[in-house]
Amino acid sequence: MLANLQQCLASSIADEKSYNVPALCVRLGLQPGETEEAHRSKFRYAQRRLIGEPTDVVLNAARKLLSEQDNFELSEAVAKIDEIGSAQVTALTRRRLIALFDRAPLATELDHLDLLRQVWPLAEMSAGTDFASGSMEDFLFQHTVRNDDMTNREILETLGFLTCSQARLFAFLGVVTGPEARAREPQVELAGKIDALLAHDGYRLAEAGNMSGSPIFAVLAVPKGSPADPVIANSLANFDPDQLAARWREAMESRETSPGRAITLARTLLEDVCKWIIVDAGKTYNESDDLPGLYRQLAKLLKLAPDNHTEQVFKQILGSCQSVVESLGALRNKLGDAHSLGPIRARPLPRHASLAVTLAGGMATFLVETWQARKAEKG
């Protein structure tokens, strides 16, 4: 990737007049040279000053140049370097994303070229084909407007969808699910399909705002949590794939960005699980019951109350489970976002949220799996 960045940067520098190249290189933090050398070959002049330089020097020079002028290829090369070490959206996922548009328009409320211009600088990009010269915009206009002989798959592959930076990929996903591209119902439906595909690679397409009452979506990295997170997610998804699984996912995503929200969601998740299982067992609960009360009712139903056991170790463990539930309710009242913290109360930190979410998820999984085991025994 560094070699590609060096080549893109050298090409960008070579777009300048030869007599300006030496001063431009110095301004970018590269070694000076003679104007005569630049007259012989602008590209080689720049390349000689880039080869052997450490990555940070080349990156700084590229960013400096991009702050002064737009350059599609150089911006892509910089973005790909910046994305090293982050979770990667695989080529397989990208092909699956393209497949969503095989039989569906890129936009229903917006011209397809207007949509693509928001992501790719079509007028500045070369068509780069054996059959055409000129800009990508001219090429796409010829084959999608004058002649309707390109599929959406071919359009996206021609634009480099399979190899572009993730920054550009994510920008496209935000635009294609935007309120200006689609009506609300198909907009949300498409966002859900994209979200399910991105989840395999550690990303989500989540609601990040709204425009005139319609959601705006953005790609977010799924926060890395404890090793138990996937186990909890699978257990809750198998029990209730909609509300409980969604509650858990939202709690996980809030740990770093909104600890108070995560703590409130952790407590609500446990309350939901208790109510779900009680109803699934054919029992009822009082709407006024708080979390400790719901848990006590469920513990008796599942024979998890300490008094149901004679072994001291089980009594201690189950007593601790009850304490965890009660403590999560108290923590939510102290640090959650359900009540005002006021000017002097302690502010929750991500580590507090991580603890609350992990404890709630562990307890929720234990309760769900215990209930499923009890049902299997009866069966």
Supply the DSSP string of 8-50, one letter for each residue: HHHHHHHTS-GGGHHHHHHHTTPPP--HHHHHH-HHHHHHHHH
In Å, how far are 5, 88, 332, 333, 346 from 268, measured between CA atoms? 49, 33, 9, 12, 21
Indicate the helix (H) or strand (E) that contains 75.
helix 72-82
| One domain, residues 339 and 233 | yes
The domain spanning residue 293 has which CATH number?
1.20.120
Instruction: Evaluate whether 269 touches 247 at the Cβ level (below 8 Å).
Output: yes
Interhelix angle 259-280/312-335, rounded to 10 degrees, is 130
| One domain, residues 10 and 72 | yes
User: Which pLDDT belongs to residue 333?
Assistant: 60
Q: How far apart are CA 204 and CA 253, in angstroms?
A: 10
Q: Are strands 203-211 and 214-221 parallel, antiparallel or unpaired?
A: antiparallel
| One domain, residues 103 and 151 | yes
| One domain, residues 272 and 366 | yes
| Residue 283 belongs to domain spanning | 229-378
* Per-residue pLDDT reduced to its tens digit, 286-332: 888 888 899 999 999 988 877 766 677 777 888 888 888 888 877 76
The domain boundary residue, chosen from 171, 196, 221: 221
User: Which pLDDT belongs to residue 191?
Assistant: 93
| One domain, residues 95 and 125 | yes
User: Which pLDDT belongs to residue 224?
Assistant: 62
Instruction: Evaluate whether 76 touches 56 at the Cβ level (below 8 Å).
Output: no
**Ranges in the chain, pLDDT < 50:** 339-341, 343-344
User: Which pLDDT belongs to residue 379?
Assistant: 67
User: Which pLDDT belongs to residue 102?
Assistant: 87
Q: Which residues of 16-45 are buried (b: 16+ CB within 10 A; e: fewer)?
A: bebeebbebbeebebeebeeeebeeebbeb
The sign of the torsion formed by the CA atoms of 126, 131, 137, 138 equals positive
User: Which pLDDT belongs to residue 246?
Assistant: 84
User: Which pLDDT belongs to residue 218?
Assistant: 94
| One domain, residues 368 and 272 | yes
* pTM given for the model: 0.64
| One domain, residues 256 and 148 | no
Helix (H, G, I), strand (E, B) or coil at 164: coil
| One domain, residues 356 and 259 | yes
| One domain, residues 302 and 331 | yes
Q: How far apart are CA 334 and CA 340, in angstroms?
A: 9
